Amino acid sequence: MFGNKHFLILLMGLEISSQAIGIRRVPVEVYISEAGRKKFLDKGRSIEDIVGSVAEELELKMNEHVYADRASTDKRKFHFDWSVSGMTSPDIDLDKCGKDTSRFQYDLVQAARDKPGASVILLYTCESEGYSEDFILAGQKTPLVIQRKYPECSNDVATFTETEPMKIESIIANALFIAAGSPLNDMVEFEEVDNGRDGFKRDIRLKTTDFSLFSGGICH
């Protein structure tokens, strides 16, 4: 009896230890057309650079909160396994946008079928202003069309190739946060922070850090 109890404690210890050193990997596929890619290159920056820098910054912020949460024993880091490519599905044209967001929702369903097991971000070449009323009605500040999937543990997002730096970074950050499993929208903000003699710097702020709620607490 003592041996079984000792073995159970050992297993629990190993589980906690594996959580402490493990990684919560979030696979994300970002799709963009050549026209959309050119919009960013014309502004002197590639979409890969934008996604990579935002993903790295968001990871750091999320993992800071993971380690600071004394109530949680799950200390695994978040890591975005992201990639950017052109759309391969003949049924999805990222250079064509409809009158409302229903087209994007249809495309997300198709993209999810083509890429199971990963969260998908579709970047459309059109501007978000044409859909501002849709997002106001949805109560969203960030122009994201979202499809949450349970229990697949992946959330898909359709959005736009905004070239204003702060706008596209906010879009990508919120899309990645949702891809990681956030049940809430508009949870990532950028703010200016006083950095002393170096002046002000831009920083990411998370409105929620209860990662146990991500995808109903069953993912990662």
Q: How far lies 82's CA from each of 100, 162, 180, 188, 195, in Å?
A: 28, 19, 11, 18, 30
| CA of residue 142 relative to chain centroid, distance | 13
Burial of 14 (0-12, 13-18, 19+ CB in 10 A): exposed
Q: Specify if 120 maps to a domain.
A: yes
Q: Specify if 142 maps to a domain.
A: yes
What pLDDT does 65 receive? 87
With a cut of 50, list the residues of the chain below it in pLDDT. Answer: 1-2, 7-20
| CA of residue 16 relative to chain centroid, distance | 26
| Those residues with Cβ within 8 angstroms of residue 73's Cβ, 6 or more apart along the chain or in another chain | 16, 19, 20
Distance in angstroms (rounded) separating the CA atoms of residues 144 and 121: 10
Q: Specify if 1 maps to a domain.
A: no
Instruction: Give me the number of domains the chain comprises.
Output: 1
What would the pLDDT profile of 32-90 be if each residue is shown by its tens digit? 999 999 999 999 999 999 999 999 999 999 999 888 877 777 788 899 999 999 998 89
Portion of the chain with pLDDT greater than 90, in percent: 56
pTM given for the model = 0.85
Q: Specify if 188 maps to a domain.
A: yes
Q: Supply the range of the domain harboring residue 50.
A: 27-217
Q: Specify if 70 maps to a domain.
A: yes
Q: Specify if 90 maps to a domain.
A: yes
What pLDDT does 82 receive? 98
CB 218 within 8 A of CB 206: no
Q: Specify if 4 maps to a domain.
A: no
Q: Specify if 160 maps to a domain.
A: yes
